[in-house]
Chain A
Amino acid sequence: MKENLWSFCDGDGNVSGAASRPILTRRQAIQGGLVTVISSYLGASSLTEVAFASPGSESERDLLVVLFLRGAADGLSIVAPYGEDDYYRLRPTLGLAKPAGKKQPAAGRLSDLNGFFGLHPALDGLYPYYEQGMMAAVHAVGSFDRSRSHFEAMMTMERGAPDQKGKDPSGWLARFLNAVPTANPTPLRAVAFNTVTPDSLRGATAVTTIPSLNDYRLDLPKPDMKKHGATVGTKAINTALTALYGKGDDEVTRSGRATLTVLETLRRSDPASYKPANGAKYPETGLGSGLRQVAFLRRQNLGLEVACLDRGGWDTHVGQGGAVGWLALQLKDVGDSLAAFAKDLGNDGLKRVTIVVMTEFGRRARENSGLGTDHGRASAMFLLGGGVHGGKVYGKWPGLKSENMEDGMDLKVATDYRCILAEMIAKRLGGGNKIAAIFPDGNIPPPLGIFKG
């Protein structure tokens, strides 16, 4: 029941006012079981079958938020090994200043994580969550793809399996969703805030891909267009579209049915009027706006189980910057957006939320002559949520001595990223017995103990 309670309370446990009032009535209906009558508007359309999960049926699973940093983010700046001299030897210009003191964030300096690693100063917003034990980092993590090609590496990582030629080209999240079925048929079960579906969700039967929920509506003819002979009927158009997309199991008709269901769902609620709780302020950025909408869907209890967001800007070949500059600006957006999301949901709300921040590979240990970094191998990951044993940096650290690096120049992948995802699926997402289906290539190293459960 907790699942449902928090979703219409603010972070302090009070039922919030105007923002949720119109929703409350409907929720009460939902809590009563299935919403059976939403069809007055649609006539006898197939959408009458839309049902929402009764409380509890999906509550064994966390909401999973996957933030993919596309373009290979520099793990050595994000979680900097300030305790290693080689770091400063290889990064004479880009190396970040050591923390001022234990556990004391200071402007322009790393925030200490464990006496060896420091968090980039632009991620200050997230530091409190690390300190409270709700955020963990994993370092020297990556995939088995050694191409150093963005496309190859992202494909490998998002599919969750190496060379997929001739095999099912689905993504790991799609296989997760398919392996862990739901009683909840809403197409909002998995949402990618994007214009194209990411490969991780490829092959899932119900994925909604949208840049913004606010734009998700059918622009029906205006009344003054009647002169052109339109019926101006929402009902007529909806009925016809429902009929046109009612049959068929190809990707287009399936997607059309899902689209119609989402339209109906969003018509009955209003994402634009969503007010964050706890004084959370999302940055006015794509990522900030995306996470704000994730929070909306979560609070609306619309059956969201997986949200995918992307953030680019990491391919810092030139002019990467240090504590300030290009990379810092990107990180600031990531840190502040995630912190706002966490604050909005509140610690109680975060209890059943897991956020994963990942990137396709890291960057070369040695900075280049353009004060940037070229394509490397291992990078860092973040895990944030109530189910994370946080306040730690996980993973073996191979070090930055050239003899310990891949091809003598790149941080070695010491931790297979699948090992983290697999543990998360087992402990937080109720898929412990489905790992073999989700990561069919096996050979997943034992869990690092990052997650509770």
Chain B
Amino acid sequence: MPRLSRRIYLTAGAAIVVAGVSGCSEVARRVAPARHMGKIPPLPSTGDLSPAVRVLNRAAFGPSPGDVAQVTKTGIAAWIERQLDAPLGPETDESEVWQMRLRLRNIDVLHNESYDLLDWQGDEVRAQLQQAALLRAVYSPHQLRERMVDFWSNHFNIYARKKVGGNDSSPELVEVYAARDNANVIRSHALGTFPQMLQQSARSPAMLGYLDNQLNKKGVANENYARELMELHTLGVDGGYTQKDVQELARCLTGWTVEDRFLRNRGTFLYDDTLHDDGEKVVLGVRFPAGEGERDGIKALDLLARHPSCAHFISKKLVRYFHGMEDEVLIRETAEIYRKTGGEIKPMVAHLLNSPALISSPPIMKRPFDFVVSTLRATNAETDGKSGVMEHLEKMGQSLFQWPMPDGYPDKTASWTGSLLARWNFALALSQNNVKGTSIDFGADSSPEGLVQRLLGRRPDDPVLADLLEAVRNVAPADRVALMLASPIFQWR
């Protein structure tokens, strides 16, 4: 019985649920034209935004009460420095607040081997993956690390519902590998080095299953992973590779698969020499002599990660993510850091966050995950991260680990403006304490001015807020909270 490819499977489910969410409903996400080059829709005024708020909006998931004061007190540069030094890996270090460890303690997907998860019923694996991601983004003091996790989770997107084995009544889904992928690829390298992250990703059962490399064998190459590896993970579509390079790269990666034999360490990476095409290959003009076995793949990944196009492609994505535009100078500088350091992520991010341009860069519309997390942080909400809040996120169109195509959730404003109603409804439900498993406390000062400071971290005398203050003046406190979160200004970061 042939296995269904990723797209076949995923689109089946989606088509039944919602017209068109299936497959790749939104399309040209990767290569959006530079904002300053095309006709750009007007952007709103950011008003008198304090640098601390801007930094918290970009390097963190927005301010929680007290954050602005703390960043100001610490000093922005020192705060960034501290964030950059976040420990990678699981939350065991002393600096992680104890609540964080307690919150995650009962999320079993984080503590089980992939293979154990096969026995789980229903949507529990996926629900826990989403829960962990949300709780970490909302509560972790290492906000920049969680930001980078968001960035890389989209860069190395995994669609959790891709079927990779089993049968129709008991399908084996990529989601069982997703927690390991998240821990070993994304979180461990979020501020590490890109070439290492890439090597890890290529050995991740989740990625191998998601992009069909486990079907990539000598004589019957499957190009799916090889193509996305060049197009989306490293070089970019204009990165200077050919169809022939895709085919040759696929040959290099034959035999990179997932252990599936009885009484072995099932569900882990396996290089199977018997499936490897050991002939000579040429990738991007570089000759790979015959007989190199697993080294073919390792060398090819290294070749991609050290390619100038990769430095440029990763830099451009980082600049877009933090600065909301494609500034050629910043991209060049960041790519230069990539080249000098061999792809170290920390100095690139440091450069972008410390750049004075960060403060004056154009506003970025929050994606739904950003919106929900920043809302929960602003309201100091207590949330279990379970279905109550997740249903809202799903309605906004960004249910985590659910983006079927390998390019990650789109980062363009136009892709998300259709979700405003779902955002308003979340704001209304939250302010009424009507989201299951989530509650907020209004706090003492519910005057419009007090709420503006607390929820938006802004000075009430900022002229850009005049309309907002006026609109909420004559409504009840709960509605005030809802309207501030639903307001245009809160949709941007």
Residues of A within 8 A of B (CB): 70-71, 147-152, 154-155, 158-159, 164-170, 192-199, 202-203, 207-212, 215-216, 218-222, 225, 228-231, 233, 236-237, 240-241, 243-256, 259, 263, 285-287, 289-290, 308-319, 326, 330, 333, 368-372, 374
Contacts A254-B417, A313-B23 supplied; 19 other A-B pairs, CB < 8 Å: A71-B11, A193-B20, A220-B428, A221-B432, A221-B478, A228-B432, A230-B479, A236-B475, A240-B475, A251-B413, A251-B417, A252-B492, A285-B16, A311-B23, A313-B11, A318-B3, A318-B8, A326-B4, A372-B5
Task: Report which of A169, A211, A231, A247 forms a contact with B18, defined as CB distance below 8 A.
Answer: A211
B16 to A240, Cβ gap below 8 A?
Answer: no
- Min Cβ gap B287→A in Å is 24
Kindly state the separation between the CA atoms of A290 and B483 in the bound complex, as whole angstroms. 31
Task: Report which of A155, A215, A313 forms a contact with B8, defined as CB distance below 8 A.
Answer: A313
Q: List 5 A-B contacts (CB under 8 A).
A: A194-B19, A194-B418, A221-B478, A287-B15, A372-B2
Contact of A286 with B483 at beta-carbon distance under 8 Å, contacts A159-B28, A167-B33, A207-B418 already known: no
Task: Report which of B23, B418, B429, B472 forms a contact with A208, defined as CB distance below 8 A.
Answer: B418
B413 to A319, Cβ gap below 8 A?
Answer: no
- Min Cβ gap B191→A in Å is 28
Residues from chain B with Cβ under 8 Å of A254 in the complex = 417
Residues from chain A with Cβ under 8 Å of B237 in the complex = 147, 149, 151-152
Residues from chain A with Cβ under 8 Å of B34 in the complex = 165-166
Residues from chain A with Cβ under 8 Å of B475 in the complex = 231, 233, 236-237, 240
Residues from chain B with Cβ under 8 Å of A168 in the complex = 38-39
Kindly state the separation between the CA atoms of A169 and B468 in the bound complex, as whole angstroms. 32
- The digit string for B8-35, where 1 denotes a CB below 8 A from any CB of A, is 1011101111111111111111111110
Contact of A369 with B483 at beta-carbon distance under 8 Å, contacts A158-B28, A197-B415, A318-B5 already known: no
Kindly state the separation between the CA atoms of A246 and B487 in the bound complex, as whole angstroms. 11
Binds A, one of B131-139, B220-228, B313-321, B382-390: B220-228
Binds A, one of B80-88, B179-187, B402-410: B402-410
Task: Report which of A195, A211, A252 forms a contact with B420, defined as CB distance below 8 A.
Answer: A252
Task: Report which of A151, A241, A374 forms a contact with B30, defined as CB distance below 8 A.
Answer: A151
- Min Cβ gap A335→B in Å is 14
Binds A, one of B41-49, B113-121, B198-206: B41-49
> Which chain A residue shows the least CB distance to B223?
A374
A289 to B27, Cβ gap below 8 A?
Answer: no
Q: Choose among B15, B20, B237 the residue with the greatest number of A CB atoms under 10 Å from its CB.
A: B20
Kindly state the separation between the CA atoms of A166 and B405 in the bound complex, as whole angstroms. 25
- Min Cβ gap B261→A in Å is 21
Kindly state the separation between the CA atoms of A159 and B27 in the bound complex, as whole angstroms. 10
Q: How large is the interface on B (under 10, 10 to 19, 20 to 34, 35 or more residues)?
A: 35 or more
A312 to B10, Cβ gap below 8 A?
Answer: yes
Interface status of B444 (Cβ within 8 A of chain A): no
B365 to A252, Cβ gap below 8 A?
Answer: yes
A218 to B15, Cβ gap below 8 A?
Answer: no
Residues from chain B with Cβ under 8 Å of A236 in the complex = 474-475, 479
A202 to B17, Cβ gap below 8 A?
Answer: no
Residues from chain A with Cβ under 8 Å of B7 in the complex = 71, 312-315, 317
Residues from chain B with Cβ under 8 Å of A228 in the complex = 432-433, 478
Contact of A196 with B416 at beta-carbon distance under 8 Å, contacts A252-B492, A290-B19 already known: yes
B8 to A197, Cβ gap below 8 A?
Answer: no
Contact of A319 with B33 at beta-carbon distance under 8 Å, contacts A158-B28, A218-B428, A313-B15 already known: no
- Min Cβ gap A163→B in Å is 10
Kindly state the separation between the CA atoms of A289 and B42 in the bound complex, as whole angstroms. 35
- Min Cβ gap B435→A in Å is 11
A237 to B4, Cβ gap below 8 A?
Answer: no
A255 to B20, Cβ gap below 8 A?
Answer: no
Interface status of B170 (Cβ within 8 A of chain A): no
Interface status of B215 (Cβ within 8 A of chain A): yes
**A-B complex: 8 closest residue pairs judged by Cβ atoms:** A312-B23, A312-B11, A209-B418, A312-B22, A310-B20, A155-B28, A315-B7, A290-B19
A to B contact number (C-beta, < 8 Å): 295
A285 to B471, Cβ gap below 8 A?
Answer: no
A244 to B488, Cβ gap below 8 A?
Answer: yes
Mark out the residues of chain B between 238 and 285 whose CB falls within 8 Å of any chain A CB in the assembled complex. Answer: 243
Kindly state the separation between the CA atoms of A239 and B385 in the bound complex, as whole angstroms. 32
Interface status of B486 (Cβ within 8 A of chain A): yes
B479 to A231, Cβ gap below 8 A?
Answer: yes
- Min Cβ gap B309→A in Å is 16
Kindly state the separation between the CA atoms of A194 and B397 in the bound complex, as whole angstroms. 9
- The digit string for B194-215, where 1 denotes a CB below 8 A from any CB of A, is 0000000000000000001001
Interface status of B193 (Cβ within 8 A of chain A): no
Contact of A71 with B487 at beta-carbon distance under 8 Å, contacts A152-B237, A317-B8 already known: no
A256 to B488, Cβ gap below 8 A?
Answer: yes
B478 to A286, Cβ gap below 8 A?
Answer: no
- Min Cβ gap B42→A in Å is 5
A216 to B421, Cβ gap below 8 A?
Answer: yes
Task: Report which of B42, B222, B243, B470 forms a contact with A317, defined as CB distance below 8 A.
Answer: B222
- Min Cβ gap B291→A in Å is 25
Kindly state the separation between the CA atoms of A374 and B491 in the bound complex, as whole angstroms. 41
Interface status of B102 (Cβ within 8 A of chain A): no
B12 to A313, Cβ gap below 8 A?
Answer: yes
Interface status of B339 (Cβ within 8 A of chain A): no
Mark out the residues of chain B between 460 and 491 whose CB falls within 8 Å of any chain A CB in the assembled complex. Answer: 467-468, 470-472, 474-479, 482-483, 486-488, 491
Interface status of B419 (Cβ within 8 A of chain A): yes
B478 to A194, Cβ gap below 8 A?
Answer: no
Interface status of B395 (Cβ within 8 A of chain A): yes
Residues from chain B with Cβ under 8 Å of A154 in the complex = 24, 27-28
> Which chain B residue shows the least CB distance to A152?
B237
Residues from chain B with Cβ under 8 Å of A166 in the complex = 33-34, 37-38
Task: Report which of B14, B39, B431 forms a contact with A286, defined as CB distance below 8 A.
Answer: B14
Kindly state the separation between the CA atoms of A228 and B428 in the bound complex, as whole angstroms. 12
Kindly state the separation between the CA atoms of A165 and B23 in the bound complex, as whole angstroms. 25
Residues from chain A with Cβ under 8 Å of B22 in the complex = 70, 286, 310-313
Task: Report which of A196, A221, A237 forms a contact with B483, defined as CB distance below 8 A.
Answer: A237
Residues from chain B with Cβ under 8 Å of A199 in the complex = 26-28
Residues from chain A with Cβ under 8 Å of B3 in the complex = 318-319
A169 to B15, Cβ gap below 8 A?
Answer: no
Q: Choose among B11, B37, B231, B477 the residue with the greatest number of A CB atoms under 10 Å from its CB.
A: B11
Residues from chain A with Cβ under 8 Å of B11 in the complex = 70-71, 312-315
Task: Report which of B243, B429, B472 forms a contact with A219, defined as CB distance below 8 A.
Answer: B429
- Min Cβ gap A210→B in Å is 7
Interface status of B424 (Cβ within 8 A of chain A): yes
- Min Cβ gap B31→A in Å is 8
A286 to B20, Cβ gap below 8 A?
Answer: yes
A196 to B25, Cβ gap below 8 A?
Answer: yes
Residues from chain A with Cβ under 8 Å of B17 in the complex = 286
Task: Report which of A150, A211, A221, A372 forms a contact with B19, defined as CB distance below 8 A.
Answer: A211
Residues from chain A with Cβ under 8 Å of B30 in the complex = 151
Interface status of B50 (Cβ within 8 A of chain A): no
Interface status of B286 (Cβ within 8 A of chain A): no
Kindly state the separation between the CA atoms of A249 and B417 in the bound complex, as whole angstroms. 13
- Min Cβ gap A226→B in Å is 9
B468 to A370, Cβ gap below 8 A?
Answer: no
Contact of A229 with B478 at beta-carbon distance under 8 Å, contacts A151-B24, A251-B414, A372-B2 already known: yes
Kindly state the separation between the CA atoms of A370 and B217 in the bound complex, as whole angstroms. 12
B405 to A253, Cβ gap below 8 A?
Answer: no
A244 to B468, Cβ gap below 8 A?
Answer: yes
A196 to B8, Cβ gap below 8 A?
Answer: no
Residues from chain B with Cβ under 8 Å of A151 in the complex = 24, 27-30, 231, 237, 405, 407
- Min Cβ gap A151→B in Å is 6
